[in-house]
Amino acid sequence: MVVEVEAGHTPGTTMPPDVPEQAAEPVADRAADRSAAPPAPRWWSHPDGPGGHGFRLAPDPGAPPPGPSDRPSAVVPIRPSAPRDGRAAGSRAPRSTLHQSVRIAVGAVVAVLCAGLLGGCIGALVQGTRQGGRITLQSASEAPVPRSPGTTASIVRAVLPGVVYLSVSASGTMTTGTGIVLDGAGHILTNNHVVAPLGSAGRTTVTFSTGQRHPAALVGRDVGSDLAVLQVKGVSGLHPLALGSADRIEVGDPVVAIGAPFGLQGTVTSGIVSARDRPLTSGGTNSGAGLAYLDALQTDAPINPGNSGGPLLDAAGTVVGVNTAIRSADSDSSDPFGVTDDSGSIGLGFAIPVDQAMRVAEQLINTGHAGHTVLGATVDLTYQGGAEVTAVAGQGGADPALRPGDVVVALDGGPVTSGDDLAALVRGRAPGATVVLTVLRDGRTRELPVPLHSTRRDDGANTV
């Protein structure tokens, strides 16, 4: 601060106690030309100094213009007098320094935040550029929670790499299904109606649990059993699934189904075995895939379109069946495979027993074709209440046990209500086995042991 002392004013004149020294300056002196003022002291806080635009006072319009005698003879910079409260005259400097320190601190914080934000943006940009413009978020790694053997989670964790998902393009349509990895050579078991939905095989692409995709070639397919085998070549690290036996399955045993219902890959459902030896006819004249006879396992594990060809697993994680068909609430009874958009699970699912599936798969892998197990008889498909035999073919010249007119009402104790039932139950058995047929002949019930054999001929739906 610069205090101008008027010429003729005696320094040390007592000022009013409540009026600052600056208030005693005459107006004319305040309007004096400040061009002759000396440089501002170093402790001046305003950047414009005492002559800056923010501190120039307008001249008093009522005051006469200053004359030569009115100019101060000297301009003496002095320090302000000490405040009355005894504080040091320089006490205002620390306040300015404090304000300046606060501003510096705030500026530093803002600078650090901006630098962090800028660095994060640059890092994200570099990471995104490395990945073709996409950013991969890394989740925190967590150790897997221990699971007891036999739980659904432990089963799924072990078998999921051995389940594959199929996309088939055939005759201008696209269908999906599921497959089971059989061996390290790349053989995959699935349903015939998956690879040939309209009767002819299409181009199949396999998607593994890792998300990798690979084309597959058809090894062979069998309409009568609704089974097919594919193969992927040049793929390492395959995880074949362990195969069990449906013969050890009891009604009520827990099972797990894995597949891609409606394209939702890796879907897991669970339930129980609802029935065994359930004769089932799939396909038919309205299905391009053809007619199949199945001696099926029934389960209430939810199975939907897209589950076809996937595994049905027991509590040990071994395959006991190949999920194939459902009974849905859809009124369209011509869709036993459940592939229409309106169909869905109502708890009635069916799987081909793995024993039958593997017999067919081995033949398809070794020869490209599969034979059927038969009795060597012809039945009337319109007859109700059993399977009426209309003709019998002798095997090896031996006298056949069955005769025309016999009505088969049971096989190995299981009921037979139609010719389709008999065909399904017979094809579920292995060739060379002997079954016990319960027949009605001449009004009497007889138990007849009948050997089974294999044939590659398909003489029609009424041949068993």
The H helix count followed by the E strand count for the chain is 6, 20
Lowest-confidence segment of 124-128, 287-291, 317-321, 449-453 by average pLDDT: 124-128
Angle made by CA atoms 287, 189, 341, in degrees to the nearest 5? 40
The pLDDT value given to residue 393: 80
SS3 for 217?
Answer: strand
| Of 196, 151, 173, 431, nearest in space to 309 by CA | 196
The pLDDT value given to residue 54: 43
How does residue 351 score in pLDDT terms, banded at 50, 70 and 90?
Answer: very high
The yes-or-no verdict on residue 122 having pLDDT over 50 is yes
Find the catalytic residue in 282, 308, 328, 345.
308
The yes-or-no verdict on residue 6 having pLDDT over 80 is no
Quick one: what percent of the chain has pLDDT higher than 70? 64
Strand partners, 270: 256
Active-site residue flag, 193:
yes
SS3 for 348?
Answer: coil
The yes-or-no verdict on residue 11 having pLDDT over 70 is no
The yes-or-no verdict on residue 347 having pLDDT over 60 is yes
Do residues 416 and 399 touch, judged by C-beta distance below 8 A? Answer: no
The yes-or-no verdict on residue 31 having pLDDT over 70 is no
C-alpha distances (whole Å) from 135 to each of 119, 124, 125, 132, 210 are 16, 7, 9, 9, 20
Stronger pLDDT, 458 or 463, i.e. the higher one: 463
C-alpha distances (whole Å) from 92 to each of 48, 87, 96 are 18, 10, 7
C-alpha distances (whole Å) from 234 to each of 179, 185, 187, 213, 238 are 18, 9, 12, 12, 11
Find the catalytic residue in 29, 167, 187, 193.
193
Strands (E), 182-327: 187-190, 203-207, 213-222, 227-231, 254-259, 267-282, 292-299, 311-313, 319-326
With b for 16 or more beta-carbon neighbours within 10 A and e for fewer, the 78-110 pattern comes to eeeeeeeeeeeeeeeeeeeeeeeeeeeeeeeee
Quick one: what percent of the chain has pLDDT higher than 90? 39
The yes-or-no verdict on residue 36 having pLDDT over 60 is no
The pLDDT value given to residue 202: 87
The yes-or-no verdict on residue 18 having pLDDT over 50 is no
Stronger pLDDT, 79 or 252, i.e. the higher one: 252
The pLDDT value given to residue 288: 58
How does residue 121 score in pLDDT terms, banded at 50, 70 and 90?
Answer: low
Find the catalytic residue in 29, 226, 314, 420.
226
Residue 338 one-letter amino acid: G
Angle made by CA atoms 433, 284, 295, in degrees to the nearest 5? 30
The pLDDT value given to residue 401: 85
Do residues 309 and 350 touch, judged by C-beta distance below 8 A? Answer: no
> CA–CA separation, 41 vs 77, rounded Å?
9
Lowest-confidence segment of 12-16, 183-187, 272-276, 279-283 by average pLDDT: 12-16
Active-site residue flag, 277:
no
Q: What is the mean pLDDT of residues 104-124?
A: 69
* pLDDT, tens only, 168-209: 998 888 889 999 999 999 999 999 999 998 888 889 999 999
Do residues 150 and 232 touch, judged by C-beta distance below 8 A? Answer: no
Q: In terms of C-beta distances under 8 Å and separation of at least 24 residues, what long-range contacts does 159-162 make, across chains too?
A: 159/241, 159/258, 159/311, 159/313, 159/317, 160/209, 160/258, 160/266, 161/208, 161/209, 161/210, 161/239, 162/238, 162/239, 162/240, 162/241, 162/311
* CATH topology assigned to domain 246-365: Thrombin, subunit H (2.40.10)
How does residue 107 score in pLDDT terms, banded at 50, 70 and 90?
Answer: confident
* CATH topology assigned to domain 372-455: Pdz3 Domain (2.30.42)
The pLDDT value given to residue 4: 42
| Of 162, 159, 218, nearest in space to 194 by CA | 218
* pLDDT, tens only, 357-373: 999 999 999 999 998 89
What DSSP element (H or E) covers 247? Answer: none
Stronger pLDDT, 340 or 95, i.e. the higher one: 95
C-alpha distances (whole Å) from 440 to each of 315, 375, 383, 393, 403 are 41, 17, 14, 19, 11
The superfamily in CATH containing domain 168-231 is Trypsin-like serine proteases (2.40.10.10)
Q: What is the mean pLDDT of residues 29-52?
A: 45
C-alpha distances (whole Å) from 315 to each of 82, 130, 150, 240, 325 are 95, 45, 5, 18, 22
| Of 370, 393, 406, nearest in space to 451 by CA | 393
* pLDDT, tens only, 61-101: 555 555 544 444 444 444 444 444 444 444 444 556 666 77
Angle made by CA atoms 66, 70, 71, in degrees to the nearest 5? 95
Stronger pLDDT, 264 or 7, i.e. the higher one: 264
Beta-carbon contacts of 290 under 8 Å, excluding residues fewer than 6 positions away, are 192, 199, 223, 224, 283
Other Cβ atoms closer than 10 A to 55 = 12
Active-site residue flag, 96:
no
Stronger pLDDT, 237 or 135, i.e. the higher one: 237
SS3 for 295?
Answer: strand
What DSSP element (H or E) covers 422? Answer: helix 419-427
The pLDDT value given to residue 250: 94
Stronger pLDDT, 303 or 60, i.e. the higher one: 303
Q: What is the mean pLDDT of residues 265-275?
A: 94
| Of 295, 349, 297, nearest in space to 320 by CA | 297
> Is the whole model's pTM more than 0.85, yes or no?
no
Angle made by CA atoms 184, 190, 191, in degrees to the nearest 5? 160
> CA–CA separation, 355 vs 68, rounded Å?
128
Q: What is the mean pLDDT of residues 284-303?
A: 80
The pLDDT value given to residue 338: 46
